[in-house]
Structure 1
Amino acid sequence: MTEPLHIDAAAMNRVLTPGATARVLADVLLAGFDPEAAPPRTSVPVPAGELLLMPAAFGPLAGVKIAGVAPGNPALGLPRITGSYLLLDGANLQPLALLDGAALTELRTPAVSALAVHHLTPDDRPRRLVLFGTGPQAYGHLEAVLAVRRISEAVVVGRNPIAARALAGYARTLGATARTGTPEDVATADLVVCCTTAREPLFDGTLVAPGATVVAVGSHEPEARETDTALVARADVYVEARAAALREAGDLLVPLAEGAIGPDHIAGTLADLVRGHRGPATDRPMFFKSVGMAWEDLAVAGALYQALRKT
């Protein structure tokens, strides 16, 4: 039996750009895959944090990600997200490749957001971006947003001023005008992206302008959220899948428990957007909430494997 191909972060970044990764995800949805039918994520509390098991199968492939979330790791100089992805032949479940699970997550999550931004944010002019977070996901989202939209200014909001300045400096190396800012900067933002470990809202949702787009990816727990009830109640809400969002998205489940919204408040899904089934335009903010799903990992892992196998 042929040894499984080992795919590390360097190989991933060499093979797939953020824009290309977004197109991989779009192609899966356009081919008819239904994220509502995807298996749920299994979460197991452990002393260091949380273990996640994320299986998926469609087309000729299957796979499973085993990920760890260790909140104490950054203080030790270690990554907060760990893990591995095992890619399998869907016909016989023989191993095809073993991928760096953390790097895969850092690639696919921004691509999901970029795909949503592409469909929710008009491209009629450069957009002002406010980015919450300074970790690997913040860097990945900056690159992914720049791949799909022109940015007039990037404003970085982070708890650590040094890290925030570093990310703003990186944005400038990519050709964007950038600075650090405060949560109040959302009032003049066209696009707000939240990729933090926050468990409470990051900003006042009443400040977000009509027509602005907000993306939140930082949590997949029913009690944790990056956005407040005020934003969610006044926004057109889009998700990866209704079932997953109503199971895991605290940004929606907290307002739901408060009675501020109902389950039918979700306007549509990522598949709806990609397939051109978006509802009529409104003057409300657009809100995309991502929890991360196993089908996305499989789609990207499969594309990486196919590209690297040829080389």
Structure 2
Amino acid sequence: MSTIRHLSRKDAIEAGALDWAAAVEDIQATIRLLRSGEAGMVAESVMPLGADPRNKAYGLPAFVGGAYDAAGLKWTVHRAEPIGDLPSISSTTVINRLSDGAPVGSVESALLTRMRTAAVSAAAIKALKTDRIGSVALVGAGAHAQTHLDMLLSLFPGLETIHLWNRTRSHLDPLLATAGQGTATRILPHADWHEALADADVVICCTSAPQPFLDKSAVRPGRLIMQIGFHEVMFETIAATDLVTVDLWGDFAEKSAKSLFQMYRAGGFSPEQVAADLPALLVDGWKPPAEASLYFSSFGLNVFDIAFAARVLARANELNIGTLLPSI
């Protein structure tokens, strides 16, 4: 009987889902495959689940060749707020072999999504901020903020300070409780986001804010503002930066509620104004001037989800981790 393998979150972690070095290598390898035409994706299929635009279900297909040999679909249901004891995001990625179409397995993928998002941030920081960074401001206190905090502590051990801010101050407590042990990096909470950003070389926005609040006072020479979240950044802030960079520009610009794409649809930004995307950063080695103010919009590319799931499933198969299910 033919079987497929299913990995719970616990299984995925056991199979290496939290390996930051492997995660960053996945980003770099997948971008190279994307540039050569050996990886690709199509626009997500979105189904609204109510008036709040954050309530939606969506499917994201992609393929990744090379050693990944994978074609897959990430299926996600997203709620603006958790309901009961359920998480706000429920997600599963299904993988088939690209070479022959054979089913491989499935992975609970909310964790993988957060890992690939933070790994993209890490790769972008290293590419855009070639000089030493001493301070990062992390805005938000949800799951993406937690994963970005883990990433910063793991991949940037030379950081002197990580400043934290969230609209609800008490939501920072879990981050403070789990971080700061065994690290020389100071982790400082703030009551005001202006204070949190005061000396930051990099600002990482990880909120689900439906209305933008980060105004153009956040723009400074040499500072990188990264938007991971929903709609935190005002159009005036994007317009005030010297250089706008993105993970990629695609058909999703016509639908996404991310700040940059809303600005584009409102007529305030043109795709020709994008200075560089991830292929330019990671394959071509594009570098900005040292004193330029920078903005990076991370849409979140489903091609990375497929690469991550394929890598973790392959490792799980080697170690016999997970649950085998009949496929026919």
Alignment partner, residue 189 of structure 1: 200
Is 1:165–2:173 an aligned residue pair? yes
What are the residue-to-residue correspondences of 1:112-127 with 2, within 5 Å? 112-124=120-132, 126-127=133-134
Match of 1:2 in 2: 2
Check 1:194–1:244 CA distance in 2 against 1; reply closer, same or farther (3 A cut): farther
Query: Is this contact kept in 2: 1:154–1:168, CA < 8 A?
Result: no
Q: C-alpha offsets along residues 278-311 of structure 1, whole Å, 9 cap, x if unaligned?
A: 1541522221111112101111111112222222
Structure 2 gap segments, 5+ residues each: 320-328
What secondary structure, in the 3-state scheme, does the structure 2 residue paired with 1:76 have?
Answer: coil
Instruction: Answer 1 or 2: higher relative contact order, Cα 8 Å, separation at least 6.
Output: 2
Which of residues 36, 43, 50 is equivalent to 1:40?
Answer: 43
The answer to which structure has the higher helix fraction is 1
1:26 maps to amino acid: Q
SS class of match (1:297) = helix
- Which residue, 20, 23, 26 being the options, matches 2:25? 23
Give the distance between the partners of 1:272 and 1:129, measured in 2 at CA.
Answer: 24
Which amino acid in structure 2 is aligned with residue 28 of structure 1? T
Pairing of 1:286-305 with structure 2 (within 5 A): 286-305=294-313
Partner of 1:222: none
TM-score by length of 1: 0.89
Q: 1:13 to 1:191 in 2, by over 3 A?
A: farther
Counterparts of 1:195 and 1:34, CA distance in 2? 31
SS at match of 2:42: coil
Q: How far 1:207 sits from its partner (Å)? A: 2.8
Correspondence 1:58 to 2:64:
yes
The answer to whether 1:310 aligns with 2:321 is no
Identity, in percent, stands at 23
The match for 1:213 among 221, 224, 228 is 224
Following the alignment from structure 2 to structure 1, what is the Cα–Cα distance between the partners of residues 203 and 161?
12
Residue type of the alignment partner of 1:189: A
Q: CA deviation at 1:111?
A: 1.3
Moved over 3 A (4+): 31-37, 254-261
Contact 1:154–1:171 (CA under 8 A) maintained in structure 2: no
Deviation at 1:234, TM superposition (A): 2.7
- 8 A Cα contact 2:26 2:304, kept in partner: no
CA RMSD of superposed structures (Å): 2.3
How many residues in Structure 1 have an aligned counterpart in Structure 2? Answer: 304
Question: Within 2, Cα distance between the matches of 1:264 and 1:249?
Answer: 20
Question: CA separation of 1:169/1:183 partners in 2, compared to 1, >3 Å: closer, same or farther?
Answer: same
SS in 2 for 1:131: strand
CA separation in 2, counterparts of 1:165 and 1:263?
40
Contact 2:39 2:63 (8 Å CA) reproduced? no
User: 1:9 and 1:62 mapped to 2: Cα distance?
Assistant: 21
> Residues 255 and 24 from structure 1, CA distance in 2 versus in 1: closer, same or farther, beyond 3 angstroms?
same
| 2:298 maps to amino acid | S
Distance 1:229 1:197, change over 3 A: same
SS at match of 1:291: coil
The alignment partner of 2:135 has SS state of strand
Q: Which runs of 5+ in 1 are unaligned?
A: 220-224
